[in-house]
Structure 1
């Protein structure tokens, strides 16, 4: 697509948001036992939640210690038993992170089970492997308040956050909103313990979007079998000064609000300094992250021949997952990650109905664009009540730090198959450019998508191009007649004026086309003559992109830098246009009359060309005009 051309200019430098906090060890707040002390036949118990929020225990027995190459270094095979396991049908998805104790000491947490097998058997990740996630540093960034970001807060905020402990109010943190916090650049996905013989026991759930969006988002997150789940009505509140216990049900969140995406598991252990461990396997395996984590309510455990699973809903956000590693997940209680806000204003013009949806999503620049785009698509599916052909009028408003009143783009889209998906492709690409820009942070960040959908094909076709005459002189103004036909309506005629430039010569062309069809592009960037130099310029170039509802008339001719008197030899035989950014090309050509743009209320289809011959104008008049121009320039100086 044309946006990929401009995107290439912005991806020369990939940047990481924030700095790295020093690695910190994890010391559980209860006694523990290392794997060297374990033997087959030892009996103990595990803690989990199977209904509501009540923590229950069930017996476990060590079957064997399985050595591994890689991380974790060992897995402990256990057999679960008792009435709880009989009721659930075995070890269930959602029990990942359930702490296991021998002789009253913590040895690790249940992390894996087998599908279509004996569900009483499971694999425990040893505690000594789980705590190693804290050998890696946390990568944090402090997000200043939108209203009053001070330089001191920007430079020292991360350090202030590091010093806080669970239950203490953070400096500059609002107690009723989850805006301040730290933001993490993603790392390369790490090798996870995901063998064909067994699977991870933390079920992903996606609620609030269409079924096709569920499949799309699940596939993007590497999960082929999301389970039913969801959230209670309204926002998920923040719980200040939380007190948590091993065995509690928790949910890691990627999106929440009118849409909820998360994974349910179990809290393994806490430390006195506010750190926690959970899951006993990776969530997405993205390394240092910033994902909200909430207490969960378990509706029930559903027995299944494939694998039993818990159905849960998030209750209150109590902290943030800052590590997503092969050995498990971990984070900080009482630290609340920043979130990005999104709003969809949708109108079905055929039924004259409208709706609004709001949600928040995690501040992951490498995941956010695809995640939010998939969510918007699923929301539109539900609000429109169909999937198929139609026309959309889409306006995107993006607001963030350093963006003043924000940036807006309006475009129209037609699809004969899947309007919601096709209309949001550009939106996803634009967000990618903004999230991954190498110039400046845009957090806090908010995006509003206003979409008007209709089943009607609001199309306009270019049917004719007429130019009176085949030969013209430089400096002439040419009347260009364009015949346009709105879909199944009467043909209309529009007349535009194109000016023949003074350096044109020989065979040239006049072209009329729909916006986005063989568009003007960032040739200066693609060929290496220029680059996008700053944050403001990035948005200028994004605003210069063509829209699908434009009728564009161009005069095209070969142009090179002519060497000779008054010309610099170092410029080389490259056209001026090839050395200009897209915004500069459009501005100059609109001014000199070689480009005309007409915005319509339709998606414009078609492209027509007309060949003309250009001859030199009156040389005397040209010299007189040149002299007048030089005199005017001298007076100006």
Structure 2
């Protein structure tokens, strides 16, 4: 063997040896990391689990106390779904028989063989023998505590997952029905909205110690309205916990309330479920929501946005105030404030129907120069005043949540509304400018008469004044008289920016704050908006000529084949209201006692101060066909 070949072989062997040493180091590091989470003697590896093994599981069947149940390992299912290993088990025991099998809410119930944890119940089948269940092995669950950037996983669609019961307290009727539709895009898992309660059954100091098998709650909102799910805690190490054995929303890095729960009973059926109530006081936060389960910590709490709602039924002299803390997640904030406000309106009014509403929306955000934004308005509806009055709140939350520029740093939302059954709506019926049109000049004040027709009442005449600027162009002009916003507002559609540079402007905007300010400064629906749209300079008037002794000679007309083509007049481009610069707008906005409907236009002419009417005998003479003056 040559010296050169020997050198190559030695180098190759050294490289392989180095790689093996590195790989051994990685394996040792992973093992050490797992040992730091839970001692090796307390877990049973998936490789050691065999069919026929029997063990004990822990869960809460009623109240808050943890009970035991029996199970048998039927089989180990490696790579059952896109790389996910699962364990098929059969549950038994008196409590399981009473419940009718594995129940929704038991997800996360730990399973032990010879006092060593093997995993947690995670999936079951509907319309079958529900004593059979699938369990998630403990190893992938422990990775949630070891690695905050764990792979979210995929393939949930084909797993026989038990639907996550999403318990709502403080919602009913159409609000509860709409919640499921609104949260479809938020949940990457199957869930089912069920009514519940959030009444304190015990004081926080009476809460039992959180242990494997304890009933836990994961909340998206808490307070006078609660939106939460119930599951079971699998494992606890100091202040860190694992639970559920499957995803809650499957959104990866999250920030949800962690709390405890009280179980009323397990309701039997094709798919039994735990009927329970989240205990009001949170005890921590959930920060990971992955394929293998959820994890979080105790005594660390999520970021929230407080929502305060004040509703008054003026006719019945009933007032209602609601306070809710919503998780600071824009995908929730775009819908939950409006939905909770609708519930508050429905429960206060105790009817769905016509009426007039006066509303105020007030939001506070750290990342805006105008920290407090306020929008007042008045609404009318013949059919559903509660739903109609939510428009401003929904649009503002849509702008904040969907804008492509920045996180607003929202930290407070307030919505107040006063409702009465009175039909405070009026039709804009007639309008006129009182001045003689021939005398309207730049700088004049226009006296305007507007006649309203309130609903089933006599006409009302209102008088206003609008001043024309001194530099307004003479010529044709138009006066628009309308109610409410003079232009439609279209909420931002983030799909438009999917393939675009997000630094680009959106409909003329380059920042969030101007978008919000433009909306909150729009006229209200009870505002009368009068706006003048001037035309272009009119056709020049004949100039007054001095007397001359000689008559001008007639111009020589060109031969027919040499006739010049008439010059084309420049096209006069129409200016729409949207194209008028805000500073140049000639507009007056006056508040009224009615929601105004309709729009009126008055065309008029602005005279030129520097011109005068030309009499017929002052017009220049024209040539007749024979070239003679006439």
TM-score bin, normalised by smaller chain: 0.7 to 0.9
* CA distance, structure 2, for counterparts of residue 238 and residue 289 of structure 1: 25
* CA distance, structure 2, for counterparts of residue 278 and residue 208 of structure 1: 26
**2:360 aligned with 1:360, yes or no?**
no
- SS of the residue corresponding to residue 227 of structure 1 reads strand
Q: 1:616 aligns with which of 603, 608, 611?
A: 608
Query: Compared with structure 1, are the counterparts of its residues 491 and 79 closer, same or farther at alpha carbon in structure 2 (3 Å cutoff)?
Result: same
Quote how far apart the aligned CAs of 1:128 are: 2.1
Matches within 5 A, 1:460-609: 460-468=426-434, 469-470=436-437, 472-501=440-469, 502-516=471-485, 518-519=487-488, 530-533=508-511, 535=513, 537-557=514-534, 585=582, 588-589=584-585, 594-609=586-601
Which deviations, in whole Å up to 9, do the C-alpha atoms of 1:107-137 show, x marking residues without a partner? 2111111122211111111222323445764
- SS of the residue corresponding to residue 457 of structure 1 reads coil
Q: Could you tell me which residue of structure 2 aligns to residue 101 of structure 1? A: 112
Give the superposed CA RMSD. 3.5
| Contact 1:89–1:303, Cα closer than 8 Å, also in 2 | yes
Query: Compared with structure 1, are the counterparts of its residues 259 and 315 closer, same or farther at alpha carbon in structure 2 (3 Å cutoff)?
Result: closer
Matches within 5 A, 1:110-509: 110-134=121-145, 137=148, 191=154, 193-195=156-158, 198-222=160-184, 225-233=192-200, 243-272=209-238, 274-401=239-366, 406-435=372-401, 443=409, 445-468=411-434, 469-470=436-437, 472-501=440-469, 502-509=471-478
| Contact 2:222–2:280, Cα closer than 8 Å, also in 1 | no
Taking structure 1 as the reference length, the TM-score comes to 0.74
Which deviations, in whole Å up to 9, do the C-alpha atoms of 1:367-397 show, x marking residues without a partner? 2131121111112211211222222111112
- Deviation larger for 297-306 or 343-352: 297-306
* CA distance, structure 2, for counterparts of residue 72 and residue 470 of structure 1: 82
| Contact 1:200–1:281, Cα closer than 8 Å, also in 2 | no
**2:37 aligned with 1:27, yes or no?**
yes
* CA distance, structure 1, for counterparts of residue 75 and residue 491 of structure 2: 62
- Deviation larger for 39-48 or 67-76: 67-76
Query: Compared with structure 1, are the counterparts of its residues 224 and 441 closer, same or farther at alpha carbon in structure 2 (3 Å cutoff)?
Result: closer
Q: Could you tell me which residue of structure 2 aligns to residue 92 of structure 1? A: 103
Which deviations, in whole Å up to 9, do the C-alpha atoms of 1:611-633 show, x marking residues without a partner? 2234433269xxxxxxxxxxxxx
* CA distance, structure 2, for counterparts of residue 65 and residue 479 of structure 1: 87
| Contact 1:470–1:611, Cα closer than 8 Å, also in 2 | no
- SS of the residue corresponding to residue 337 of structure 1 reads coil
- SS of the residue corresponding to residue 179 of structure 2 reads helix
* CA distance, structure 2, for counterparts of residue 297 and residue 130 of structure 1: 25
Q: Could you tell me which residue of structure 1 aligns to residue 70 of structure 2? A: 59
Q: Could you tell me which residue of structure 2 aligns to residue 166 of structure 1? A: none
**Which gives a bigger RCO, structure 1 or 2 (Cα 8 Å, sep 6+)?**
1
Q: Between Structure 1 and Structure 2, how many residues are aligned?
A: 525
| Contact 2:57–2:109, Cα closer than 8 Å, also in 1 | yes
Query: Compared with structure 1, are the counterparts of its residues 492 and 385 closer, same or farther at alpha carbon in structure 2 (3 Å cutoff)?
Result: same
Query: Compared with structure 1, are the counterparts of its residues 554 and 83 closer, same or farther at alpha carbon in structure 2 (3 Å cutoff)?
Result: same
Q: Which has the larger radius of gyration?
A: 2
Query: Compared with structure 1, are the counterparts of its residues 528 and 360 closer, same or farther at alpha carbon in structure 2 (3 Å cutoff)?
Result: closer
Query: Compared with structure 1, are the counterparts of its residues 577 and 391 closer, same or farther at alpha carbon in structure 2 (3 Å cutoff)?
Result: closer
Query: Compared with structure 1, are the counterparts of its residues 134 and 527 closer, same or farther at alpha carbon in structure 2 (3 Å cutoff)?
Result: closer
Q: 2:47 aligns with which of 25, 30, 36?
A: 36
Q: Could you tell me which residue of structure 1 aligns to residue 547 of structure 2? A: none
* CA distance, structure 1, for counterparts of residue 295 and residue 430 of structure 2: 65
| Contact 1:460–1:485, Cα closer than 8 Å, also in 2 | yes
Query: Compared with structure 1, are the counterparts of its residues 356 and 520 closer, same or farther at alpha carbon in structure 2 (3 Å cutoff)?
Result: closer
Q: List runs of 5+ in structure 2 lacking aligned partners.
A: 1-29, 185-189, 493-502, 538-572, 613-630
* CA distance, structure 2, for counterparts of residue 508 and residue 416 of structure 1: 36
- SS of the residue corresponding to residue 317 of structure 1 reads coil
Query: Compared with structure 1, are the counterparts of its residues 434 and 528 closer, same or farther at alpha carbon in structure 2 (3 Å cutoff)?
Result: closer
* CA distance, structure 2, for counterparts of residue 202 and residue 521 of structure 1: 35
Which deviations, in whole Å up to 9, do the C-alpha atoms of 1:54-107 show, x marking residues without a partner? 111111112223344655612222110110101111111110111112222112
Which deviations, in whole Å up to 9, do the C-alpha atoms of 1:495-520 show, x marking residues without a partner? 22234453435443211111135459
Quote how far apart the aligned CAs of 1:405 are: 7.0
| Contact 1:92–1:310, Cα closer than 8 Å, also in 2 | no
* CA distance, structure 1, for counterparts of residue 448 and residue 330 of structure 2: 46
| Contact 1:238–1:317, Cα closer than 8 Å, also in 2 | no
Quote how far apart the aligned CAs of 1:219 are: 2.4
Quote how far apart the aligned CAs of 1:270 are: 1.7
